Structure 1
Amino acid sequence: MPGVSAALGALAQNVATNTQIAHDNSVTALQAKDQAQAAADIAVASANFLGMWTGLTGSAPKGASVKHNGRFWISINAIANVALSEPGVSADWTSIGSSSVVTQRVSTNATMVPGVLYIAVNGLITLTAPAGMLVGDTLMLSNATADRVFVNFGSYTVKGVTPTPPMSIPARRGFSLAFDGTTLA
């Protein structure tokens, strides 16, 4: 029955190929959904942009956007007095994500800024996670060196575990970790 065996082998290969194609298509669809949501957030924020938060006074409707501390923020509530509701401090605001990634080549020790992809170009440097991270903030690193790079996560846990400071990131490796309010994962 060599013919049946060969046919079953070809069928199994076809099933495996179709499974991989379906998986790849689902990943592409999820990425497109995220990009569409980011574009929609930016469009809404652009239409209702009030300007720099510093110096604003008076009320702001739900969906208004401002720039503060180098980030764009959108109000998730109607705000009676914008001056009393600081983005990043008040629960009235959420930071606006973007599908485009800001990159920063880094060759010396530095404190990381959420949302920036750091590309380490010198080994044996230490990057430090910032204090006061907000839900949704993402720390990203790509170690482009042939040596280790270190990250000090301070009081933050990584995937629920307290890393031994500083955490060593091997050559040609990296991470993208989002803060969920409890841990970086």
Structure 2
Amino acid sequence: MSDSSYGTLKQEDVIAQKGKRREEIVDRILEAMSADEIYETLYLQRKSESEVKDRHFRALVDCMENVYKDFGGVTKEDSISERAKDSVLWEGNPKTTINNIQFMGVQHRPDFEIQFEDLKIAVEVKLGDKGVDIRSGLGQSIVYAEEFDFVAYLFIDTSEDKKIEEGCEGKEEQMVINSLWKNYNIKFAIV
């Protein structure tokens, strides 16, 4: 692609169309992964990301069961359960393959991929207590936004004083969070 062809791309050519239903599905995914029950008995400073993601996987399957009940037109419980399991792809599941994305000469792939009807959602989870941790997830989310309709990015603040979570309430931070959604279809949540 030549330099001049970049100017002809329009934002609507790059990002998927938003709609009330689609946004609600992304919101439900982040809500399921942010549920207090996931974190009540976890001492996050001692757990690895993969141990936390195991709980997220179960929460995402439950979430997708509800999505199928509400939006999928499926009424048989067995069918709902099967479809929900099939719609949540997890890199930690040996029976699942999430394809890598080649970007800037290296491979990338999200922690989870949600497939519902024609919708593809990348889910990125990061644990941390430093700026580098949050920036890593933001960068990955932007890469995934090019390949997926939507990205749900959950950051788990493991700092003892919850400085990152509290810092997200600032005006500038909210502007960036809103811009991620508006320009890249990236929804951000922090716990």
TM-score in terms of structure 1 length: 0.28
Higher helix share: 2
Which entry has the higher C-alpha Rg, 1 or 2? 1
Higher strand share: 1
